[in-house]
Amino acid sequence: MNEVSQLYGLVLAGGKSTRMGKDKRQLHYHGMSQQEYTFSLLESLCEKVFISVREAQIDNTDASEYILDRNLAKGPLNGMLSAHMAHPKVAWLVLACDTPLVDKEVLDALVAERDTSKMATAMATQKTNRPEPLIAIWEPHAMATLLNYSKTLANIYPTKFLLNYPIHKVYPKQDVKLMNVNHPDDFDEIKKLLKTPTI
């Protein structure tokens, strides 16, 4: 029987939000910033929760909640590897702050179906069947493998990594729950969807 590692939460909030034109972690969909909302979702499921940020993003919030990017890789992988180096023995429930339709029901299903024998347990849409690496639980051995790759490869893509290793996929009741926000038009669409009773 596999030993179950502690589950920590990681809010991925270190992106530069270039396409959006404003910091995506500070956008409001649920009466609070998306960073606060995402943090609160993870807090209900994880032993501890941290926010992955660049140094320039640190504000007056308790510094113990942050893990600074160490420039180990490009994109969100940088935050993930920095978190792993800070706490190498835990599994990480990773959630990007630009997925405002992800709710407790989605994350409850992800945690309930966690398979510690696999590299990761990831949400996936019925339409594409592709794993969502930024709405996923990454086991410690997966993070260690990613870190080793980062030392020899210039570019590592989390989705491609998951497609090449044994993982467990979990599907939301509605694919739209996994939608991410990159442009102002996406923001407007999400705001409309949140007013829809079926979402």
In a domain, 199, yes or no: no
Higher-confidence position of 109 and 78: 109
In a domain, 106, yes or no: yes
In a domain, 148, yes or no: yes
- Report whether pLDDT(21) > 60: no
Going by DSSP bridges, is the β-strand pair 66-68/48-53 parallel, antiparallel, or unpaired? parallel
In a domain, 1, yes or no: no
Reported as a pLDDT band with limits 50, 70 and 90, residue 176 is: very high
Round to whole Å and give the CA distance between 194 and 179.
12
In a domain, 89, yes or no: yes
- Report whether pLDDT(104) > 50: yes
Write down the pLDDT at residue 190: 84
Round to whole Å and give the CA distance between 165 and 136.
14
Write down the pLDDT at residue 155: 77
Higher-confidence position of 86 and 31: 86
DSSP per position, the chain: -PPPPPEEEEEE-----TTTSS-GGG-BSSSSBHHHHHHHHHHTTSSEEEEEE-GGG--SS-GGGEEE--SSSSTHHHHHHHHHHHSTTSEEEEEETT-TT--HHHHHHHHHT--TTSSEEEEE-TTT--EEEEEEEEPHHHHHHHHHHHTT-S---HHHHHHTS-EEEE--SSGGGG----SHHHHHHHHHHTTSTT-
In a domain, 96, yes or no: yes
CATH number at residue 42: 3.90.550.10
Residue-wise pLDDT for 140-168, tens only, equals 999 999 999 888 776 788 999 999 999 99
- Report whether pLDDT(134) > 70: yes
Q: Report the domain count for the chain.
A: 1
Write down the pLDDT at residue 171: 98
User: Which domain covers residue 53, as residue numbers?
Assistant: 7-193
In a domain, 146, yes or no: yes
In a domain, 2, yes or no: no
Write down the pLDDT at residue 24: 75
Higher-confidence position of 116 and 155: 116
